[in-house]
Amino acid sequence: MIGITSFGGFVPRFRLNRQTIFQAMGWYNAATFGIAQGDKAVASHDEDSITLAAAAAIDALGGNDRGKIAALFAASTTWPYDQREAAAILAAALDLPERLRTVDMADSLRAGTSALLSGLDAVQAGIDGEVLVAAAECRVARPGSVQEHLYGDGAAALVLGNQDVVAEFKGAYSMSVDFADHIRQAGQRFDRTWEERWIRDEGFLKIIPQAVAGLLERCAVKLDDVAKVVFPCEFARAHSGIAKRLGLKPEQVQDPLFKTMGDSGAAHPLVMLVAALQSASPGDKIILASYGQGSDALLFEATDRLAAMTKPRGVLGYLDRKEDIQSYQRYAVFRELVPVEKGIRGEFQAPTAFSTLWRDRRGIMGLVGTKCTACGTPQYPAQRICVKCGAVDKMTDYRFSDKRGKIFTYTGDMLAFSVDPPAVYGIVDIDDGGRLYLDFTDCTLESLKVGMPVEMSFRRKYHDEHRGISGYFWKAVPAQA
């Protein structure tokens, strides 16, 4: 038996109400009034597709042995680099073993299910270990466009294997067609879309039902026996139209999450699948169908292990944690849609020393320090001499990224440049020992207090537009139950 052994998701904390978008840009495109309902999930200024994927992967991995991961397949159409593998950055952040196969999937909204199928193929072929699949999206749309309302940010991750399977893989059906509805040429920032009605009628309403029908025939399964059918569609009416065309009952249709987070592109089929698994019961059959230059349709069946597994926060858990971004202008600054005055302190960014990053990669990317084997004291950064007992070269590697802590002290700095002022930083005492000096994020200065529990989050430390470099490190965020 092969299939999904664990799963996780992530939705950014910020939400932007679509009425806020319309109030700011409706004068330019009054036709968007009809879709200006609900919220869209918005990545913060220190989040991108890599950090979102990392958060979802951490949720999926939980307390599992990361040494069992033999491959990492990552999917997105918005990776920050064209030539630096996102999966390799993710592997470093997750502190996965370097004896790892990593692959980036991109260029299509079907990339998420392409990564999933590749992972399942690897497990079926007998790869020595488990496969981690992570998909994330952080798409930017032109101000005033329909897509600005539709797109939302999010991520999902699945661990695949042949032991302790919580959702067995039963079969798949794929079709590939060059249906060019969304295109983005190399070097461009925004998508170009064709006429909406044509995309809806010739694309979504025909391709997805055809793929689902092919899967049902191949797996000899009747639709009445399926508990949930998961399929993305950025148009709410077309989503209902697909369900009607397939003959689905309302309870068989997975919530597309349009009103709560928006469409997260290549990640969205997996995001919806994670939400479906969070509500599934053993024995439930779930069909997953993607869309983008064709469709991949996959059939899973939940096993008895699903009820016994340690529950992740998942998509539903992160949807419950939200804060209204309130200001369209703030959103536009986070997305770098408008230039802002950075001042003397913000206009200079020291170049990344990649040689230093390479030498200290586990400490910087994986937040790995050391623990004294003589007295048991964790310490960061890695040390040869214990800060407590003075023992020399009695250290073992110790990962801080999956630990919680409490705020020892903090400050808000209005002089240091920050895209979201004030810059907030301080000292965190780790629960199991050790002390870290970190930036705080996903919070306001007023919401913090000494003794507050926090956890670690992999974030973008800076974006150097001039050199085309994104630097990453770990920050502290208020702990979520």
Q: How confident is the model over 24-30, as a mean pLDDT?
A: 95
Go through 339-377 and write b for each residue having 16 or more CB atoms within 10 A of its CB, e for each that does not: eeeeeeeeeebeeeeeeeeeeeebbbbbbbbbbbeeeeb
DSSP 388: T
Residue 397 clears pLDDT 90, i.e. is over it: yes
User: Token digits for 330?
Assistant: 């703030």
Residue 466 clears pLDDT 90, i.e. is over it: no
- Residues 85 and 374: their CA atoms lie apart, in Å, by 39
> Which helix (DSSP H) or strand (DSSP E) does residue 146 occupy?
helix 146-150
Domain with CATH 2.40.50.840 in the chain: 352-478
Query: Residue 238 CB: number of other CB atoms within 10 A?
Result: 20
Helix (H, G, I), strand (E, B) or coil at 181: coil
Is the Cα torsion angle 427, 432, 434, 438 positive or negative in sign? Answer: negative
- Residues 163 and 300: their CA atoms lie apart, in Å, by 15
Residue 480 clears pLDDT 90, i.e. is over it: no
Say whether the peptide bond before residue 381 is cis (omega within 30 degrees of 0): yes
Give 361-390 pLDDT, tens digit per residue. Answer: 999 999 999 999 999 999 999 999 999 999
pTM of the shown model? 0.96
Share of the chain above pLDDT 90, in %: 89
For 411, residues 6+ apart whose C-beta sits below 8 A from its C-beta are: 424, 425, 426
Give 289-340 pLDDT, tens digit per residue. Answer: 999 999 999 999 999 999 989 899 999 999 999 999 989 999 999 999 998 8
Q: How confident is the model over 75-93, as a mean pLDDT?
A: 96
State the pairing for strand pair 167-176/3-10: antiparallel
Q: Supply the DSSP string of 27-52, one letter for each residue.
A: TT-GGGGGG--SEEEE--TT--HHHH
Residue 351 clears pLDDT 90, i.e. is over it: no
Share of the chain above pLDDT 70, in %: 100
Residue 443 clears pLDDT 80, i.e. is over it: yes
Banded model confidence at residue 350, pLDDT cuts 50, 70, 90: confident
pLDDT value of position 478: 96
For 345, residues 6+ apart whose C-beta sits below 8 A from its C-beta are: 415, 416, 417
Residue 347 clears pLDDT 90, i.e. is over it: no
Give 49-81 pLDDT, tens digit per residue. Answer: 999 999 999 999 998 899 999 999 999 999 999
Residue 207 clears pLDDT 80, i.e. is over it: yes
Q: Which fold has domain 352-478?
A: OB fold (Dihydrolipoamide Acetyltransferase, E2P) (2.40.50)
The CATH number of domain 3-334 is 3.40.190.10: no
- Residues 80 and 90: their CA atoms lie apart, in Å, by 12
pLDDT value of position 188: 87
Three-point CA angle 190, 191, 192, nearest 5°:
120
- Name the average pLDDT for the chain: 95
By CB atoms closer than 10 A (0-12, 13-18, 19+), residue 54 is buried
